[in-house]
Amino acid sequence: MKLFKVILVLVVLFASYYFYLSGGFLKVASYFDSSLNLPDLSLESLKTGVEKGKEFLPDPLVRKDKNSDGKILKYSLILEETNRHRKENGLPPLVLNSKLSLAARVKTEDMFKDQYFEHESPAGKSASDLVSEAGYGFIVVGENLAMGHFKDENDLVTAWMNSPGHRANILGAQFKEIGIYVARGEYKGDSVWMSVQEFATSESVCEKPFNSDKNKIEEDIDALETINQKLKELKQAISGANKNDPSYNKLIEDYNSLVVKYNAGTLLIKENTEKYNIDVRSYNACIAEYTSEN
């Protein structure tokens, strides 16, 4: 029995000595050999379609004859004629939008005031600028301009339909809404009608990823880099520490705890980044549906 106790004591002492020499259960080498580099977590970029927009601006239409000076053109009937042509071509009707109509009105009045007839004003403003200033966030914008004398609304819209560029706007599947304004005024000594159609599709039709999601990922990446820097400092401290020092095991515990935190943070960021990038690709595909060339 005494011999058994002696052998047991020797085994315990030998095991303790072995764990002491090898660094014990808190063996640092297994962590030092692990890669703690952050994987490629790059965030994909959103298309700039909403910010920059895409404009469809055919050359303005001018009617020079004067055989219908007395006719009053109405925007409601212009809308009716426009949607009639869309229906005949299997397209859904355009919805009248008050903000787009405001942009059309500003454009019309500005052309009379500054005596020009172009898509870009002397001040350098184009359709996308006017639509944005009217408070309409858009993916794509188109503008039809007409000046002259027209028998009625059908005559005006028919004239646009006979022009390839204007017809493309009227029958544009990429457009969902429209604004219209028409007015009579003096242009370079002649009394004429000016008509403006603003075509657009709201940015709200494409679900945009939340900026807060992107910001949170970037904040988490910064926090992870802070942990990584601390790990490097602890690793250096452990390498230079005396294993017999009472603080040695505390350094290892701190290091191992941060490794767990770092790896968990990496996994979470990876998952959130993949989700965000899927949302970005979905949004970009939606934008492309409206901005691609027909």
Classify residue 116 by its DSSP letter: -
Q: Which residues of 9-30 are buried (b: 16+ CB within 10 A; e: fewer)?
A: eeeeeeeeeeeeeeeeebebee
In this model, does residue 14 exceed pLDDT 70?
no
Quote the CA–CA distance of 149 and 73 in Å, as a whole number: 10
Sequence-ordered list of residues with C-beta below 8 angstroms from that of 59, at least 6 positions apart, any chain: 165
Q: Is the dihedral of CA 216, 218, 220, 222 positive or negative?
A: negative
What does the DSSP assignment read for 192-203? EEEEEEEEEEEG
Report pLDDT digits (tens) over 238-271: 888 888 888 888 888 888 888 888 888 888 988 9
The C-alpha angle 255, 260, 261, rounded to 5 degrees, equals 95
How many CA within 13 A on the CB side of residue 41?
A: 23
Quote the CA–CA distance of 224 and 221 in Å, as a whole number: 5
Contact 95, 87 (CB under 8 A): no
Average pLDDT in the chain: 83
Query: Phi and psi dihedrals of 51, rounded to 5?
Result: -70, -50
- Provide the pairing of β-strand 190-202 with 177-187: antiparallel
Tell me which of 95 and 271 has the higher pLDDT: 95
Burial class of residue 53 (count of CB atoms within 10 Å of its CB; 0-12, 13-18, 19+): buried
What's residue 143's pLDDT?
98
Q: Which residue, 143, 138, 128, 123, is CA-closest to 196?
A: 143
- Band (pLDDT 50/70/90 cuts) for residue 136 is very high
| Cβ count near 220 (within 10 Å) | 17
Q: Which two tokens stand for residue 281?
A: 């690709």
Helix and strand element counts for the chain (H, E): 10, 6
Contact 290, 49 (CB under 8 A): yes
Report pLDDT digits (tens) over 45-78: 766 544 445 788 999 999 877 655 557 899 999 9
In this model, does residue 166 exceed pLDDT 80?
yes
- Band (pLDDT 50/70/90 cuts) for residue 162 is very high
Q: Is the dihedral of CA 76, 80, 83, 85 positive or negative?
A: negative
130 alpha-carbon distance from chain centroid: 21
What's residue 10's pLDDT?
37
